[in-house]
Amino acid sequence: MTSAAVGGQPSEVGVDFGTATTFVAARSLAGPAQVVPLGRSTPWLPSLARADGHAIVAGEDADDGNGATIRSVKAAITQRRTAVTGWGPDGPVTVPADTVVAAVLAEAARRAGAAGLALDNGCPVRLGCPVLWDGGQRRRLLDVAGAAGLAVDESRLIEEPVAAGLAWLTHSYLGRGERPEGRLLVFDMGGGTLDIAVMAVSAGPRPRVAVLGAAGSAVAGDALDTEMARDMAAEMAARGVDVTLSGRPEVAWALLERAARETKTRLSHVDEHVVMLPAPLRYPHPVRYDRTRLEAAFRGQMDGAETLALSALRTARATRQPLTAAELRAVSRSSLADDVDFVLLVGGMSRIPYVQRRLAACFRRARIYRHAGGAADEAVVAGLAGTGEEEVTLHRPGFDLVLEWGEGRRVFYEAYTPLFEPWQIYSGYSELVYERWLRPPEVPDRGEGRVRAFGLSRREVALELDGRIGPLPVRFCSDGVALRLTGDGAFELRDLGGVTALRADGWPMPAGSIGGGDGGRLVLSRARGSPSR
């Protein structure tokens, strides 16, 4: 493997491209991950950009008021938008989102190079992505990162909560001399998003992570700022000052949100913060904001976050054992909470004592960890700059399954598609499986075809059954053909020959293309009583 060098030491390199900040870290063989300073006065690069004619300026200079500043460009991939709009003194400016993402990543690489860590020389890097992104979103980030000069492939695209979990496992084993083994829930609440993942983990020289379930939401720290700002506005209104009637309501509201954000941060350290609102708000009275008031504003949001965590735990149950929706619905919240052995808090919002207290009360049996060896907002990049020796399996296939015949071709399953949606658990009749029927005339009604697997880079993933490697044969009939997949690796094909029940030992991480090698392999075994194919 090609290695980057920090001070002449070989290292693994991670790039955490976040909604607000981008981190780069490298790891020497026996040391912890070291964050490479990218910002002018911060360890991170602000994930900001500004269109400057045909060029894009990324980083701190993008916010210098000389044009339209573009924020949260990562959300464009999450929301499948192709363009992003920034607001400047001359009005809105719209540019292609991928160009902006590439500019931010290229700037991060340039600054890492200036700090002694060259990333543009083919050195493989590991890149993070949200756990809920599907194959198309991941492929898009890989393509853009490639265009930005980063050597990254699908095997090096690690889900962010998984990366945080890996950092925690490595630090537990090497830093604390422990070998935790059990169920880990990563709770990653930042400004813009909340990401939750449930994993079966074990620490050791080769940390092992099996993702069992995940959930995400766009309601996070910024939503709390808004709620607190509303609360302050209500207090002002009670004394006769209505911010909506201000000469510049958007400025008044921004000033309130700014005060709320600051209050939120201060209340992680003190019990009460006295807010003196700035002069343009024309409210000369002190606003006394204490933790009780913050918790009241935050309660509803944390209720939702807990429900989301329990939803991820329900998915995790179905990943490990075949359960019907009815069976899963019958599992109580406390029983689900008892599945968790460890909780890892990641992201800026995890500093709030109320978050820690709520999660400790919800997951009574679990040990709560607030750091994975470094700052809460550096856990993801620390895990990305891992040992490279980790074993990760997923709760859904990380490759496309394609049905082919003659000149025809249909996608049976698209990489990273959830095998079932959370709503299915609450619906009346759903089986918690992925099932897709392809029927004539979409496919032939006679003759033979085959199922093949392809990674995000479109390289073929070898399917191995009964010691033989090759496509899985399919015989068409007038009823069509069907594919069923479950989180625990059940793989069922239905065709003219009946039902062929196969099983994979979990869904492996895709193989990479950097440094050659094949596209990886999925080993299937025949479930008992299943006919030969």
Partner 1 sequence: MRPAPVATVAVFLDLLREARAPMAAGELKRRLGALGVERAEAAAAWRRAQRVLRRVARYDPDTRTYEWAALAPAQALEELLRSDLDGAERTALAQTVRTALAERDDLEQRLRQAYRSTWQAGGERQTRTRAESARALARVAMEVEELAAAGAAAWVMVERVRTLVRMCDLEPIGRAGEETGYDGARHVAVGGPARAGARVSVIRPGYLWRDGDDEVLLDRAQVAPV
Q: Which residues bind partner 1 (CB under 8 A)?
A: 28, 30-32, 34, 40-41, 60, 63-66, 68-69, 87-89, 173-175, 177, 205, 248, 250-255, 258, 278-280, 373
The Cα-based distances of 129 to 33, 94, 433 in angstroms read: 19, 24, 24
If the CB atoms of residues 250 and 271 are measured against partner 1, the closer one turns out to be 250
Structure tokens at 289: 């904001």
455-475: b (≥16 Cβ within 10 Å) or e: bbbebebbbebeeeeebbebe
Q: How far is the CB of 249 from partner 1 (least distance, A)?
A: 9
If the CB atoms of residues 191 and 373 are measured against partner 1, the closer one turns out to be 373
Q: How far is the CB of 280 from partner 1 (least distance, A)?
A: 5
Q: Enumerate helices (H) and strands (E) in the chain, giving the number of each.
A: 12, 32
If the CB atoms of residues 67 and 397 are measured against partner 1, the closer one turns out to be 67
Contact between 164 and 186 under an 8 Å Cβ cutoff? The reply is yes
If the CB atoms of residues 371 and 439 are measured against partner 1, the closer one turns out to be 371
| Single-letter residue type at 45 | L
Q: Alpha helices of 244-290 — where are they, by DSSP H?
A: 249-266
Structure tokens at 22: 């981008």
Separation between Cα atoms, residue 284 and residue 272, nearest integer Å: 19
Q: How far is the CB of 239 from partner 1 (least distance, A)?
A: 21
If the CB atoms of residues 177 and 240 are measured against partner 1, the closer one turns out to be 177
Beta strands 342-346 and 287-290, pairing class = unpaired
Q: How far is the CB of 35 from partner 1 (least distance, A)?
A: 10
Q: How far is the CB of 254 from partner 1 (least distance, A)?
A: 4
Beta bridge partners of 391: 208
Q: How far is the CB of 159 from partner 1 (least distance, A)?
A: 24
Using alpha carbons only, give the angle 292, 296, 299 rounded to the nearest 5 degrees.
125
Burial class of residue 25 (count of CB atoms within 10 Å of its CB; 0-12, 13-18, 19+):
buried
Contact between 456 and 142 under an 8 Å Cβ cutoff? The reply is yes
Q: How far is the CB of 387 from partner 1 (least distance, A)?
A: 10
Beta strands 460-465 and 448-454, pairing class = antiparallel
Q: How far is the CB of 37 from partner 1 (least distance, A)?
A: 12
Separation between Cα atoms, residue 265 and residue 115, nearest integer Å: 30
Separation between Cα atoms, residue 307 and residue 320, nearest integer Å: 20
If the CB atoms of residues 177 and 467 are measured against partner 1, the closer one turns out to be 177
If the CB atoms of residues 41 and 532 are measured against partner 1, the closer one turns out to be 41
Separation between Cα atoms, residue 295 and residue 313, nearest integer Å: 25
Separation between Cα atoms, residue 108 and residue 127, nearest integer Å: 12
Beta strands 208-217 and 194-202, pairing class = antiparallel
17: enclosing H helix or E strand: strand 9-17
Q: How far is the CB of 528 from partner 1 (least distance, A)?
A: 30
Q: How far is the CB of 104 from partner 1 (least distance, A)?
A: 19
If the CB atoms of residues 34 and 301 are measured against partner 1, the closer one turns out to be 34
If the CB atoms of residues 322 and 374 are measured against partner 1, the closer one turns out to be 374
Burial class of residue 476 (count of CB atoms within 10 Å of its CB; 0-12, 13-18, 19+):
buried
Q: How far is the CB of 272 from partner 1 (least distance, A)?
A: 17
Q: How far is the CB of 89 from partner 1 (least distance, A)?
A: 4
If the CB atoms of residues 187 and 253 are measured against partner 1, the closer one turns out to be 253
φ, ψ at 351 (rounded to 5°): -75, -20
If the CB atoms of residues 257 and 464 are measured against partner 1, the closer one turns out to be 257
If the CB atoms of residues 27 and 314 are measured against partner 1, the closer one turns out to be 27
Contact between 328 and 318 under an 8 Å Cβ cutoff? The reply is yes
342: enclosing H helix or E strand: strand 342-346
| Single-letter residue type at 442 | E
**What letter would DSSP give residue 245?**
G
